[in-house]
Amino acid sequence: MLTDVQAAHDSRGVPLDEVGIEGLRYPVLVADGQGAKRETVATATMAVDLGPEAKGAHLSRFIEVLHGSREQLTPATAAGLADELRLHMGSDRARVHLTFPYFLEREAPVTRARAFVEYTCSITARSSVAGTQLAWSVEVPVTSVCPCSKAISDRGAHNQRGHITIEVKGADHTSGPWFDELIDIAEAAASSPVYALLKRPDERHVTMAGYDNPVFVEDMVRNVCQVLSDCDRIAAYRVRAVNDESIHNHAAYAAITWSSPRGV
């Protein structure tokens, strides 16, 4: 029998908040808003607490747990992943954080040409004896036209690329607007979405549509909040909008954090 050094007793009496793995890239299937699964590669951080008497954690078990859940990532299965890790490791607390590119096929507004747009998404699940907490987020590229520039210029207005990040917690730790819905909310809050494929008629349409819908970063955050605050499936959220300013040497941003009075 091989010696299990990690299972040995440690005499220093020092508990550790987290022990685990990070930077692991692993293929997963993520549930989308249409009832299908999307293949992607997640970068995983997985950790548990370690009691003062334990020498170390069995890191191979982290991979076993992740592999067993990789076929269908939903709010419920992500929460279950953290619970399973905690129980499998015999720990009081566990945390799982997965970040991955999420691709949606988008249609150009005039020619209807189709191509995939990439969004950065993440899931964070925390499990303890008191229960499980789950949060997920999207980072959505957008464009915005400056209302002030439009108002003071004889012609034209400066516009820029930016992104809107939305992080939510479901009302029951498993339900809530999933990635597709959050992406749609973010894109609708900006002057225009970002497209992967645009023909000349599409570029003309997007340019004029953005000019007709100028927004500050403050506007984008408030536009998102108006939608999320009316959703009873959300217990808490954080929204952050950032513009990489085209005529300034700084970025502009706005942010808000909200929690339901009903509690998380």
DSSP string, the chain: ----GGGSB-SS---EEEEEEEEEEEEEEEE-TTS-EEEEEEEEEEEEEE-TTB----THHHHHHHHHHTT-B-HHHHHHHHHHHHHHHT-SEEEEEEEEEEEEEEE-TTT--EEEEEEEEEEEEEEETTEEEEEEEEEEEEEEE-HHHHHH-SS---EEEEEEEEEEEETTSS-S--HHHHHHHHHHHSSEE--S---HHHHHHHHHHHHTS---HHHHHHHHHHHHTT-TTEEEEEEEEEEE-SSSSSEEEEEEEEE-TT--
CA atoms within 13 A on the CB side of 194: 18
Residue 97 pLDDT > 80: yes
pLDDT value of residue 72: 85
Residue 248 pLDDT > 90: no
pLDDT value of residue 247: 87
Q: What percent of the chain stands above pLDDT 90?
A: 77
pLDDT value of residue 131: 92
Among 178, 175, 164, smallest CA distance to 264 is for 175
Distances (CA, A) of 207 to 40, 68, 191, 195, 244: 32, 47, 10, 12, 18
Q: What angle do CA 140, 141, 142 make, to 5 degrees?
A: 115
Q: 55 pLDDT band (50/70/90 cuts)?
A: confident
**Span 130-181, pLDDT tens digits:** 999 999 999 999 999 999 999 999 999 999 999 999 999 987 766 778 999 9
- Give the predicted TM-score (pTM) of the model: 0.91
**Span 6-53, pLDDT tens digits:** 667 777 889 999 999 999 999 999 998 888 899 999 999 999 999 998
